[in-house]
Amino acid sequence: MRHATFACLAAFPLFAVGPAMAQTPPPGTLEVPAKTLSAPGDVSPQLQKIIGAPLRTNWDKRPKTGEEWKPVADAGAAALIKNVPGMMERLKVKVEKTTIDGVRAFIVTPETIAPENANRQILHMRGGCYVLNPGEAALPEALLMAGFGHVRVISVDYRMPPEAYFPAALDDGITVYKALMKTTPAKNMAFIGTSAGGALVLEMGLKAKQLGLPMPGAIASGTPMSDVTKVGDTFQTNAMVDNVLVSPDGFCDAGAIVYANGHDMKDPLISPVYGDMNGFPPTILTSGTRDLLLSNTVRVHRKLRQAGIDAALQVYEGMAHAHYLRDDTAPETKEVFEEIALFFDKHLGK
């Protein structure tokens, strides 16, 4: 009877779950004990350092008005902008500040534009919870796209609280898109953005449909704030695991609420996962296994696939929210943007 020890295992094969345990909490809930995570060893040293960093300081501070956010955003931008000159040098890109039909923007031009990209432009919407990263602080993702993709990028420095509220960011993006269409066919353009920017590029797709504008040739949406109503299972499972956003009740939620300014948070123009994505162009989505918004990335991917859209998903080992924007020297950063560049090249007109 040496097998008796394991006999009770037998009644519950791999692909069936056992009956409720004694003393279980309410049906459907699961008690997960405290744990200590190590930074994963199967990523680059640069990414390991980023993943292994402690939780973002003051992740639970929640400014409640545009006026309260402004000094936070300005000081944060001042810190972030210090990285920009080095990035420009390493990525071999130039930046020109401009205004396009009244909207502030940056034109980011790589030293070498790939021949196939000669007649293409990428429209970039920055991240930052709709309240952070004004001015040059918007640039890192645009620099990475231009540098690794060898393509011209127009980064929209859209209005934010307290200057303007919903739907100002979206309107500014559409204004620039319309202006660019005067010289570049829509099918030769792509939208790219991360976090709030990842949501905005989807919102712009929905808005373009409403306005009867042509769709861009492709969209790249990184870890999008696609659902600001806090629906999404990784809001639970990756809470206190994602060292950037940390919690669904943290600073980023507070930013979205201030931007919404009383508007319905479930409106697809601020929670685009609820939008009708029929007719969308090919779309590539990026996330990581520790991302608080992993669910809200994969939910958009499913939504697009259900609408028959050519949608690609890339999920990176160990990455929390937007870790791929942190270090242009990490090989994973290059991989993310080269994948996006390949996807654009496959789908954009020339």
- By CB under 8 A, what part of segment 34-53 binds a second copy? 34-42, 48-53
Convert residues 191-210 into a mask of x (bound to a second copy by CB under 8 A) and - (unbound).
----x---------------
The pair of structure tokens assigned to 162 is: 């307290």
Q: Does 343 bind a second copy (CB under 8 A)?
A: no
Strands 93-100 and 103-110 come out as antiparallel
Ramachandran category for residue 177: left, alpha or beta (phi over 0 → left; psi -120 to 50 → alpha)? alpha
- Interface residue with a second copy among 66, 80, 152, 192 (CB under 8 A) is 80
For residues 88, 91, 97, 99, the Cα torsion angle rounded to the nearest 10 degrees is -160
Ramachandran category for residue 212: left, alpha or beta (phi over 0 → left; psi -120 to 50 → alpha)? left
- Interacting positions 289-318 with a second copy (CB under 8 A): 289-290, 294-295, 298-299, 301-302, 305-306, 312-318
E-state strands within 101-241? 103-110, 121-125, 153-156, 189-194, 218-222
- Residue 249 Cβ, how far from a second copy at the closest point, in Å? 13
- Residue 300 Cβ, how far from a second copy at the closest point, in Å? 11
Strands 189-194 and 153-156 come out as unpaired
Q: Interface with a second copy by CB under 8 A: which range of 70-78, 116-124, 165-173, 185-193?
A: 70-78
Q: Does 23 bind a second copy (CB under 8 A)?
A: no
Q: Does 91 bind a second copy (CB under 8 A)?
A: no
> φ, ψ for residue 122 (rounded to 5)?
-110, 125
Q: Which is nearer to a second copy, 103 or 245 (CB)?
A: 245
CB 265 within 8 A of CB 259: no
- Interacting positions 121-150 with a second copy (CB under 8 A): 127-129, 132-133, 137, 140
Residue 199 and residue 229: Cα distance in Å, rounded? 13
- Interface residue with a second copy among 28, 102, 115, 212 (CB under 8 A) is 28
- Interacting positions 223-242 with a second copy (CB under 8 A): 231-234, 236-241
Q: Does 279 bind a second copy (CB under 8 A)?
A: no
- Interface residue with a second copy among 56, 178, 187, 263 (CB under 8 A) is 56
CA 217 from chain centre, in angstroms, equals 19
The pair of structure tokens assigned to 200 is: 């905005």
